[in-house]
Structures are given as structure tokens and as C-alpha cells.
């Protein structure tokens, strides 16, 4: 072993980053990533400050605009950021906030009692990651303006005129050197703004897109607050109980607001917020809500004879089936786990929420006995189905199937036992299964052919799912088990590839498989293990030269380049039409293949789409098809 060369490690080796340099050095630490999520997080940080003003009762309108040249404008009619000189920095408060990390009105100040973040941290991050930023403040009868670039003031604070009202107007352009792309998703921003308007009663939020002609404008204003939001989330689902439960109560200086209702869905839709920040990973407030719901419902059910003697209590899973809820709390010093604030860590939030919800829910059940009876009868059915599913699962386990001791006979396994390098191809039919078995690399690629279309699990309970031989084979092949026994650590393949024919039947099978993965194997999607293979649509041959074409647009480009020459064009409608060499070269060879990784950026929007396309509401599906028919591609004719 070579002797290591000594290197110095002294005080001079410690790098001190001044100003906002740490943000530019490690942007992912502050906004999560430099991809799409991080880019949109800049808007969330700026809008969040305006929403905080609204929560405190100082702002009634927020405008967000897409401007040309990748610029975003956000303005409000709040109090306006202070512009007087800061006693410590000797600069204006505005410049201090824009150019200094951990500087703002939310550190120990009473100016903000319950806000989403640390005013100054968020906005300074946006300043640091923008090549251009202009802030215009209206307050004390005058307008003030200052420009920044990459977290540094480029102009002095100027008084540019008189004004009547107050507010803050910010225009920024993200740094193309930081982000992978500067393309903002309009729908993503509109959905976020709609959500903020729902969560803040009597707040008007306007979105404008000035990059298109004519300009687009959307306005949001909801007097009903989270009850209106709940109704929006429900959509056209059939209701179990008629009246919405609503709680608005203060416990231990924590304001607890919640609304929920039950639908005929099998999934739960829980939406939790802290100071208007969406906590998609939940946290102590959501735990308190769940605990109160389970305890209160079970106490009421026993007291009123729905549960008797030694009958088992409803589980939390029983009580959450079909639940659509919104839980929103306001707390003075939120402690989030992670810089992007996806999970609340305050331990005091759990008992406060539990007491508030428990008290109001018991009163709701006693005052609405018919509603109580309907939802408890639903719980009884859910409990019965859960026990039936457990019995079905136990029967399978007795046969040693789901434990992985009896792999399905049609699975062509791979020799590698390393999940990180192993791939499972799920293919339709024996013909494609035969071709892919011959085409694969047996060391790391396994093939599981499925017979026909699997069960649509969107409207099926677990006991019925476990009776499906095709789904059972897939569960066994994956090795993770399912439902309560699901264990991601036992996944045998870190690439699970859906490989179907490029026709309408193939697309239908993809949708059915994705529905199964989304509803019952969601961690596989969340961790990036699910892929869709992209086999070629056409083979174009000119003399001895072959062109494999994957899209219609690519086909047109190649035909245009080739010009008027003699050629043959073959349209692949099935994987079985390709010989093993072609299938390997075009679709399975890691060096040449094309995969689509399945990701879920907007889980709630995805949930609504799955409900629409795979649920039982035919009129809703018909309307969806009519609205998007012109955008459909690759349909069989």
C-alpha cells in the first residue's frame, strides 16, 4: 500500500462563505433541488411572505405574473418591507433582508405571530439565485426601489415617487447557471395559488400569464376557506355523510382548523398545512388529528352500541378509508424537518390538535346522529373487508406463496441477486414473453409475462386483489409483499419496467399496472423504481440501412431527410413482431434503449386523474375524453 502524502489541515483550510455565497454554493440545501421543484420553490418563497401578511390581516390581494424573458412578478398590498436604516447592518432593512441570510421580521419579533417561515431566509434565497431582482416598496406615502443580482445590491435604495397605498412589488429572473431549466409550469403555479386562496379566507389572488397573446388571467377568492377547499378536493365523488365536519378552535396558542367528509372512495386524501405551508409528509399535527379521529369514533361507537362486548375497535386504517380531510394549523414558531418544510416536528402540536379535534368531533357526532350512523356503518363494512383480506392473505401465506418461497413458474428470473443492478420486465402475453426471454441479458434482466389485462384495482378491495393470479404472480416476483406487510427493503429489482405493445391495448395495460403501483406499491414510484420501456413504433429500411423510429415526429423528420428514395416502412404493433436481436437492440440494451421513469410531482392531481380514468364515474370520464381528445396520439385506427 502506497504511503499517503501528509496534507495540512489548519485554520487556513476552513472556508468562510460570506453574504449569500453559501446559498449559491449549495442551492439544494435551501430549495431542495436545482430542478423543477427548486425553480418553483422560488415563487413559493416570495408568495409565502405575501400570504403571511394576509394571515396577519395586513394584505387582501396578491398578484403573480409570468413576464417575458423568464421573469416572475409578485406584488401585494401588504404593509411593504421596511426601508429605514437597520441599527446593526447600517443598511436599509430592505437591503438587509435581501442580502443577508437569517435576517427578517420573524426572528423573535412580534410583527409576525404565526407565519410560514423566516421572513428574510426565503426571500434572500430568491435574491441569491436570481440574476436580476427588483424590489419596489410602497409605504409611508412614498415608493422606493432597489435592484439586486446574485444576492448583491446593484443599485442604491431610491425614492422614486409618491403613493397612496402600501405594498411590495418583486420582479426576479432565476439564474440559468443554477437551474436545469427556467421553464415554469403554469398549472403547477395556478394550483398552488388556488390552494393558498382556499386556505386564507377573504384573500384575493390573481394569476396573469403575459407570455401568451392574448394574456391569460385567473382569479381566486373563497369565502368558505378550507370547507370550500374540501368540496373542491371531493369533486364528483359520492358522499357517505351529508354534513361536513368543521373545527375552528384554539388550544395552547395553536389555532386548529379542520374539515373532513367521507366519500365512497377506498383511499384516504389527507391534506395538512402549517401556516399555509403544505406539509406533504405530515407531522405532529396530522398525527394528533388521526389519534383524535380514531379515539373519538371508537368511544362513540361503543357508547351507542355499534361496537359491543369483545368486538375489536376500528383501526386507524378502517376510519381513514374514504376520508377526505384538510387540517390547517397556525403556530408561532413552527419547527420543520428539512429546509423545504415538508414535515412538522413541533411535539406540542399533537396534543393541541388532538384535544381540539376530539372535543369538536364528539359534539358533531352527538348533534348529527344520522351522519354518525352512516359513517360508522361504513367503518363496519371496511372492518369486515379488512378481516376478509387478512384471511385471504393468511391462506396464501399458509401455501408459502407471498413469502417468496414459491416463485411463479412463468417468471424467467435473472442470476444476479443484487437488487441495485437487477431489472424486472413486465410484458403482455406469451409471444412478447418468449421474445423478451431470448433477448434479455440473463445476468441482470428478469421477465414476467402477464396473461391479458390485470384487474382494475381502483374499485377493488384487497381481498379481491389477492384472488387475482396475475397480480399474485407480480407480488411474488417483486418480493415486497403488499398492504400492511409491504417491505421496500425486500424489493428484488430496482428497475421494474413495464414493456407493452405500442397500441391501445398496450396503453390500457400500462394504465392498469400504473394504477396498481400507485394504489398499492406507491413507495416503488416515490423511490424511482418504476419505468416504462419505449419500443420503436416503426422500422424504416433503405437498402441495407435501418432506422428505428420512436415517435411520429421523428418519423416525419427522417422521411424528410431521406427524400424521394425507395424504402420499406414497418409499423410495430406488438413486441412479438420483433426478433430477439431487434428487441435487445432497440428496447432492452442499456446502451441504446429509451426508458421513461415514472415520477409523481403532483400526487393529489395524479390521484384525481386516476379517479377520473379508472373510477366508476362514466360521465366524468366522458367529459375528460371530450376535453382532451384532440391531444391524444398513437391511437389505433
- 284-303 and 349-367 helices, crossing angle to 10°: 30
Helix (H, G, I), strand (E, B) or coil at 140: coil
Angle ∠(613,615,617) on CA atoms, nearest 5: 95
Strands (DSSP E) contained in 49-181 are 61-67, 71-76, 130-139, 142-149, 152-153, 158-162, 167-174
| Distances from the Cα of 164 to the Cα of 21, 59, 138, 140, 456, angstroms | 37, 15, 8, 8, 60
Task: Name all contacts of 602-607 with Cβ < 8 Å and 24+ positions apart.
Answer: 602/188, 602/191, 603/280, 604/233, 604/269, 604/271, 605/191, 606/518, 607/267, 607/269
Q: What are phi and psi of 80, to 5 degrees?
A: 85, 140
* The three-state (H, E, C) secondary structure of 198-230, written as one string: HHCCCCEEEEEECCCCCCEEEEECCCCCHHHHH
* Residue 318 a catalytic site member: no
CA pair distance 65, 632, nearest whole angstrom = 30
C-alpha cell at 298: 371508537
The question of whether 503 is a catalytic residue gets the answer: yes
Q: Which of 71, 75, 47 lies closest to 210 in space, CA to CA?
A: 71
Q: Which residues, 6+ apart, have CB-to-CB distance to 603 below 8 Å?
A: 280
Catalytic residue among 463, 503, 602, 607: 503
Q: What is the DSSP letter of 587?
A: I
Q: Which one from 428, 458, 470, 611 is the annotated catalytic residue?
A: 428
Q: Find the catalytic residue in 37, 505, 577, 607.
A: 505
**Residue 447 in 3-state DSSP?**
strand
Q: Are 464 and 473 in contact (CB under 8 A)?
A: no
- Collapsing DSSP to helix, strand or coil, 602 comes out as coil
Looking at the DSSP bridge assignments, the partners of residue 112 are none
Q: Is 469 a catalytic residue?
A: no
- Is 264 part of the annotated catalytic residue set? no
Closest of 69, 73, 53 to residue 61, by C-alpha: 53
The C-alpha angle with vertex 276 and arms to 272 and 282, in degrees rounded to 5, equals 25
Among 169, 501, 582, 611, the active-site one is 501
Residues β-bridged to residue 159: 144
C-alpha–C-alpha distance, residues 45 and 277, integer Å: 10
Determine how β-strand 130-139 pairs with β-strand 167-174. Answer: antiparallel
The strands making up 445-450's β-sheet, listed across from edge to edge, are: 445-450, 423-428, 495-499, 530-533, 595-597
In the numeric block, the cell 348529527 is attached to 368
Pairing between strand 530-533 and 495-499?
Answer: parallel
| Strands lying side by side in the sheet with 323-330 | 245-251, 254-262, 323-330, 269-274, 277-278
Cis peptide before 275 (omega within 30 of 0): no
CA separation (Å) from 356 to 202, 330, 335, 369, 612? 24, 13, 20, 20, 35
CB 151 within 8 A of CB 23: yes
Catalytic residue numbers? 428, 501, 503, 505
Amino acid at each position: 500500500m502506497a504511503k499517503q502524502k501528509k496534507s495540512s489541515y489548519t485554520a487556513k483550510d476552513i472556508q468562510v462563505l460570506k453574504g449569500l455565497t453559501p446559498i449559491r454554493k449549495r442551492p439544494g440545501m435551501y430549495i431542495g433541488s436545482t430542478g423543477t421543484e427548486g425553480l418553483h420553490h422560488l415563487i413559493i418563497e416570495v408568495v409565502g411572505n405575501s400570504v403571511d401578511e394576509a394571515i396577519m390581516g395586513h394584505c387582501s390581494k396578491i398578484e403573480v405574473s409570468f413576464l417575458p424573458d423568464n421573469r416572475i412578478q409578485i406584488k401585494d398590498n401588504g404593509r411593504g418591507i421596511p426601508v429605514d436604516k437597520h441599527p446593526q447592518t447600517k443598511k436599509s432593512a430592505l437591503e438587509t433582508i435581501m442580502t443577508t441570510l437569517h435576517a427578517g421580521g420573524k426572528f423573535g419579533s412580534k410583527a409576525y405571530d404565526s407565519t410560514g417561515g423566516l421572513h428574510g431566509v426565503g426571500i434572500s434565497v430568491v435574491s441569491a439565485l436570481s440574476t436580476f431582482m427588483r424590489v419596489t416598496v410602497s409605504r409611508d406615502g412614498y415608493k422606493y426601489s432597489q435592484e439586486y443580482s446574485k444576492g448583491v445590491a446593484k443599485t442604491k435604495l431610491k425614492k422614486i415617487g409618491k403613493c397612496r397605498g402600501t405594498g411590495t412589488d418583486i420582479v426576479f429572473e432565476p439564474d440559468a447557471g443554477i437551474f436545469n431549466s427556467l421553464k415554469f409550469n403554469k398549472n403547477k403555479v395556478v394550483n398552488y395559488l388556488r390552494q393558498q386562496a382556499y386556505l386564507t379566507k377573504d384573500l384575493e389572488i390573481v394569476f396573469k400569464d403575459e407570455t401568451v397573446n392574448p394574456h391569460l388571467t385567473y382569479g381566486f377568492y373563497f369565502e368558505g376557506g378550507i370547507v370550500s377547499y374540501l368540496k373542491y378536493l371531493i369533486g364528483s365523488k359520492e358522499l357517505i355523510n351529508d354534513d361536513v365536519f368543521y373545527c375552528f378552535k384554539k388550544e395552547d396558542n395553536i389555532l386548529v382548523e379542520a374539515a373532513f367528509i367521507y366519500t365512497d372512495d377506498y383511499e384516504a386524501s389527507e391534506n395538512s398545512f402549517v401556516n399555509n405551508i403544505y406539509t406533504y409528509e405530515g407531522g405532529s399535527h396530522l398525527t394528533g388529528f388521526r389519534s383524535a379521529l380514531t379515539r373519538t369514533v371508537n368511544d362513540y361507537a361503543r357508547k351507542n352500541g355499534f361496537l359491543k362486548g369483545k368486538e375489536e375497535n376500528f383501526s386507524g386504517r378502517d376510519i381513514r378509508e374514504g376520508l377526505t380531510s384538510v387540517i390547517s394549523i397556525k403556530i408561532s414558531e413552527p419547527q420543520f424537518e428539512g429546509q423545504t418544510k415538508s414535515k412538522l416536528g413541533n411535539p406540542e402540536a399533537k396534543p393541541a390538535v388532538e384535544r381540539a379535534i376530539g372535543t369538536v368531533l364528539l359534539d358533531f357526532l352527538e348533534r348529527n346522529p344520522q351522519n354518525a350512523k352512516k359513517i360508522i356503518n361504513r367503518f363496519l363494512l371496511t372492518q369486515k373487508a379488512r378481516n376478509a383480506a387478512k384471511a385471504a392473505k393468511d391462506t396464501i401465506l399458509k401455501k408459502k406463496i407471498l413469502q417468496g418461497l414459491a416463485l411463479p413458474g412463468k417468471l424467467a428470473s435473472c442470476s444476479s441477486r443484487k437488487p441495485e443492478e437487477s431489472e424486472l420486465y413486465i410484458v403482455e402475453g406469451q409471444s412478447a414473453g418468449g421474445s423478451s426471454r431470448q433477448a434479455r441479458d440473463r445476468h441482470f434482466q428478469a421477465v414476467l409475462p402477464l396473461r391479458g389485462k390485470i384487474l382494475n384495482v381502483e374499485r377493488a378491495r384487497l381481498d379481491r386483489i389477492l384472488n387475482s393470479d396475475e397480480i399474485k404472480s407480480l407480488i411474488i416476483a417483486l418480493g415486497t409483499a403488499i398492504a400492511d406487510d409491504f417491505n421496500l427493503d425486500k424489493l428484488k429489482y430496482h428497475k421494474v419496467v413495464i414493456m407493452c405493445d405500442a397500441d391501445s391495448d398496450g396503453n390500457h395495460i400500462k394504465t392498469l399496472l400504473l394504477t396498481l403501483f400507485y394504489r398499492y406499491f406507491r413507495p416503488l414510484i416515490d423511490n424511482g423504481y418504476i419505468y416504462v420501456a419505449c419500443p420503436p413504433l416503426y422500422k424504416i429500411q433503405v437498402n441495407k440501412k435501418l432506422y428505428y423510429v420512436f415517435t411520429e415526429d421523428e418519423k416525419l423528420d427522417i422521411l424528410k431527410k431521406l427524400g424521394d428514395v425507395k424504402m420499406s416502412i414497418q409499423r410495430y404493433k406488438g413486441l412479438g413482431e420483433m426478433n430477439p436481436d431487434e428487441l435487445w437492440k432497440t428496447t432492452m440494451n442499456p446502451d441504446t434503449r429509451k426508458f421513461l421513469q415514472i415520477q409523481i410531482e403532483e400526487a393529489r392531481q395524479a390521484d384525481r386523474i386516476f379517479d377520473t380514468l379508472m373510477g366508476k364515474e362514466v360521465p366524468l370520464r366522458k367529459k375528460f375524453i371530450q376535453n382532451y381528445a384532440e391531444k391524444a396520439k398513437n391511437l389505433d385506427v
